[in-house]
Structure formats: C-alpha cells, structure tokens
Amino acid sequence: MTEGWTKTKPTALLVLADGTVIEGTGLGAPGAVEGEVCFNTALTGYQEILTDPSYAGQIVTFTFPHIGNVGTNDEDHEDLVPMNGRGAVGAIFRAEVSGPSNYRSAGDLDAWLTARGVVALSGIDTRALTALIREKGAVNAVIAHAPDGVFDVEALKARAASWSGLVGLDLAKDVGTQQTATWQEGPWAWNVGYSTDAEPRYTVVAIDYGTKRNILRLMAGQGAKVVLMPATATAEEIMAHKPDGVFLSNGPGDPAATGAYAVPVIRELVEKDVPIFGICLGHQLLALALGATTEKMHQGHHGANHPVKDFTTGKVEIVSMNHGFAVAAGSLPQGVEETHRSLFDGSNCGLRLSDKPVFSVQHHPEASPGPQDSHYLFDRFFRLIDEHKAKAAA
C-alpha cells in the first residue's frame, strides 16, 4: 500500500445470497432491505423506472453510468400514490449521483430516494454485476446503507441467504389500489402538462395489479373513463360498472401466485365476451386463465431497447420491457394465437383469442420511459371495443 493512502470506508453494501459482499457509497434511505437484483439497460427515465410498481421486491442496477443529472419532479412518477414506496426497494449506480440540471427538476435524486425509503448505493462496477446476473441469473441479495459505515456483515449474509425470492410471491394485491377509484387524466404534452377529457366516450375497468400511470393516461386519451378496481375484485363487482372493456394491468411478483385469485375472475370475464386487454402481469394472468403456463426467466427483460415482432402486421418494434416471468410459448392451447415474440430470445410477448375480443402483450406499450412504437395497441383495444359495441347493437 502506498504510504499516506487510506481507503474510504464503505457506507453501503450489496450482500448476495452466496455470501459475496460488494462495497459502495450509500445514498437514499439508511437501512437494509432484501430483494432480487436485476439490471435495466435504459439510457433515461430513472424516476419512472424506480416508481414502476412492477419493480416491487427488486433492486435495480442501472447499466447507464450517469444517473441523477435531470433531477426529479412531481410529474414523472409512475405509481399511483407518490412516496408510497411501492416501486423498487433498492437502486445501484456506477457513478456518484450528479446534481440536477434540467428545467423540469424540482429536487435532487438523493433526497428523493430518501423520501421514498429507497436504499441505494453507488461506486461499484455495474458492468461486472450485470455480467454476473447474465451468467448466474437474477440473484437474491440485501442492500444496506449505514452512514457511519458500521454493518453486521454476517447478519446481512444470513438475511440474504434466507430470503425466499420472488417465486411463489404474490405482491399485486399489496401495490395496487385498495378501493375503487376513477381516473381521467390524459397524456402529457410539452409545456402543457396533463390533459383531461371532460366527456369520456367509454368506460374501461382496470384491474390494478400494480398499474403505471401512463397506461391509464393513454386510455383516458382515447376517451375513456377508467374505473380502477383492486386486484381482488370479483367479476360481479367489475361487471356492475357496465364496462365497454376490461384492462388487466402490469404488476410485480409471481403470476402463478397472483393467479390463485385472479385467474378464476379473468376466466369468468372472458366467458362474458367483454373486450379484454392485458399488459405484462396482466398478459401472464390472461395466459394462465386460458390454459397456458408461466415460468421464471433466467435474468428477465428490463430496458427500453427490446426488439419485438408483431406477427399480425409483420412489423418489428422497439419496446420497453420489465418482467422476470414469461408465458411459456409452447403452452398456448388451441384457439390462442401468439401475436408477438421477442427477437432477443424468442420468448412469447403477446397473444389473442381467435373467437373473442381478447388480447394481451408482455411488453409495455405505454413506455414511460422508452420508445412509443407500441402505442398502436391502445388504438387496437378501442377498435375492438367499437366493433364489439356495433355488433351488440346490430
């Protein structure tokens, strides 16, 4: 060691389930929390990512090195109730979080993380951690932040090793709305803000397994009054609102666990011949209801640069993804058509019924963050609603 050189005492640790300890600099909330470590390859949109309820139970590693440079604001969160801590439980950055430099910024990222209760660390080799996840799969871990640098490392190792992980874990009923509510805020426009349709033309019931705001905004932008209902709502309660369509939202956790109460409801809704559109967890739950199976992915898909092919149009689109479970493509039963497929690994990314106005996709057509190539899927949903209404009126 060079004379006079002293190592800075780490104020944060990432302790993997296999006992590996990675030292860093702490930021955000003090404390320790367990979660599944995944990596996200998006170049922008860290606030939207960290507030996406689909990340509940996960620690997000950002592969893009410069995080924090646009600050945070009150418009870009994706969970329904700001500061409720229902998004990612932890965050990992390569570089020290930079100060905000953006006209929309209302505060810096460190303070925002602290206010939300998110434990974070910086100063580690995120490329090496990403390579480890690609090799071994998503790993369980504990992320800990102690400003004084004092840790009980053995206790953290035991805690990481004993955490059961996301398989078999139902998180949807915890992150979604707990009571019925109405949503009418529309899409955001530059220097204008969010619109509101004063006279909606449709009623859509959204079953909230952990929905993102931008999904609801895009449906409102199509002229819908969106009725948000809890994940545990019954088919009778849903149909009491006389919906023109039903939306199955994204969300966290194992679809097989959430399916214990969600699948029977979805099956009943399918039989009622109401138009249905599902995204992410909603796609997986619909697949289960139709007789397919789901499986845990090796590392999952998390980013805004994923190529997906739509077989119904023959087009390839670049999409946002955030999921650690997937529908087993070979399990789709007769009458269920695969409509979309990942061009990265061939995994299933969409389905539709051949004889009913029902379809779903694995990726996130609302983006936020990410490309808007898949916005057409919302048009497709409302065209189905129009066609269904016209057929019923004939």
Asked if residue 42 has pLDDT above 80, the reply is yes
Catalytic site includes residue 366: yes
Q: Do domains 12-162 and 172-393 have the same CATH topology?
A: no
Q: Does domain 12-162 have CATH number 3.40.1050.10?
A: no
Q: Are strands 348-353 and 224-230 parallel, antiparallel or unpaired?
A: unpaired
Mean pLDDT (the chain) is: 95
Asked if residue 290 has pLDDT above 50, the reply is yes
* C-alpha span between 74 and 76 (Å, rounded): 6
Catalytic site includes residue 145: no
Contact 96, 124 (CB under 8 A): no
Provide CATH code, domain 172-393.
3.40.50.880
Tell me what the mean pLDDT of segment 151-180 comes to: 96
Tell me what the mean pLDDT of segment 207-219 comes to: 97
Sign of CA dihedral 166, 169, 170, 171: negative
> Which among 38, 78, 280, 317 is annotated as catalytic?
280
- pLDDT band at 356, cuts 50/70/90? very high
Residue 84: per-residue pLDDT: 60
The domain ranges of the chain are 12-162, 172-393
Q: Residue 137 carries which DSSP code?
A: -
Closest CA to 180 of 245, 240, 269, 250: 240
Percent of the chain with pLDDT over 70: 97
Residue 5: per-residue pLDDT: 47
In the chain, at which residue ranges do the beta strands (DSSP E only) sit? 12-16, 21-28, 31-40, 58-62, 90-92, 119-122, 139-145, 181-183, 185-189, 193-196, 202-208, 224-230, 245-248, 276-279, 294-310, 315-327, 336-342, 348-353, 358-361
Q: Which residues contact 98 (CB under 8 A, 6 or more apart)?
A: 66, 67, 68, 69
Residue 24: per-residue pLDDT: 97
Asked if residue 94 has pLDDT above 60, the reply is yes
Tell me what the mean pLDDT of segment 39-45 comes to: 96
Model pLDDT for residues 9-23, shown as the tens digit of each residue: 999 999 999 999 999
Q: Which residues contact 86 (CB under 8 A, 6 or more apart)?
A: 53, 56, 79, 174, 175, 210
Catalytic site includes residue 38: no
Residue 192: per-residue pLDDT: 80
